[in-house]
Structure 1
Amino acid sequence: MVVESRALEADMNDAGAVLVSTLTLVDLAGSERVAKTGAEGIRMKEGTAINKSLLTLGNVINKLSEGAQAQGAHIPYRDSKLTRILQPSLGGNAKTSVICAITPALCHAEESHSTLRFACRAKRVVNNAVVNEVLSDAAVLKRQAHEIEELKNRLSASGMTAEVEEQI
């Protein structure tokens, strides 16, 4: 589920500025072995597709946790729909939290261990979140006019206004 929020800035200097944020919630299926689940037919096909998406997610997390994105290496986001959907949350401008659930049951020890290894790799992924601000043309002009006014005031305070005004 993806929730997008847009809020107008209250600051009068930024009339027309909109802050944009997105919340993405994903509940991933577990990665079980077909032999363990006893799935057949359609269930087996679904399980195979889920496992393929989870494998791709694991590959993306591996690359990101190794710093491949910073080195300009290819990150295989397009190898699955899941990783395409999660791309903004995984490797970019986002604050991301990953919650991994495991079971203490001994019969699922291998899957639990795999989940914990995934969690260790996921926590090494570094994102750089910044405020997403969309400005209207009017807001850009207003900001620039405000900046020009501030610069003029600074020039005035420094005593260089007469020379600069001639050049302007």
Structure 2
Amino acid sequence: MRRSSRSDEPPVRTPGARLVDETGSASLEFLTVGVLLLVPLVYLVLALGQIQHAVLGVEGAARYAARTIAQAPSHDAGLQAADRALLVAMADAGMERDAALVTIACEPDPGACCTRGGTVTVQVDATVPLPLLPPVLAPDVGIGVPISARAVQPVSAFGGAP
């Protein structure tokens, strides 16, 4: 019977061999690199999701505010309906109504948004705070991303105020 060249005894190692032995280090390297890449990636997904949610809310707020003003029977009723539409849309986006700057422009008469054949333009500007960041730079606002939405709605030639 031929004897195997492999022995059941562990090989003899010198003290310097332990320093270059890399047994088990691949899993440690994988975990370290994985965590270092995964944490920023998860934060990026959270931040982009929050920004996209706010963008859709602000866009909807501008669109519905312009639509309610254009369909209102009078200028004051249109502004009240637009304020309610802004409150609902901003609440759906998880933002406060006071966090947005709303600009309403009417053509051809700036004082009457319900002029037949005219247009109503609503611009909504807001700042979306980034998640999990303390307000370091500006205590009242924090670090955020500015977003803006603009909607233009024509007033019907058959509706509105004469």
Question: Given the two structures, how large is their TM-score scaled by the length of structure 2?
Answer: 0.27
Ranked by relative contact order (alpha carbons within 8 Å, sequence separation 6 or more), the top structure is: 1
Structure showing the higher strand proportion among its residues: 2
Question: Given the two structures, how large is their TM-score scaled by the length of structure 1?
Answer: 0.26
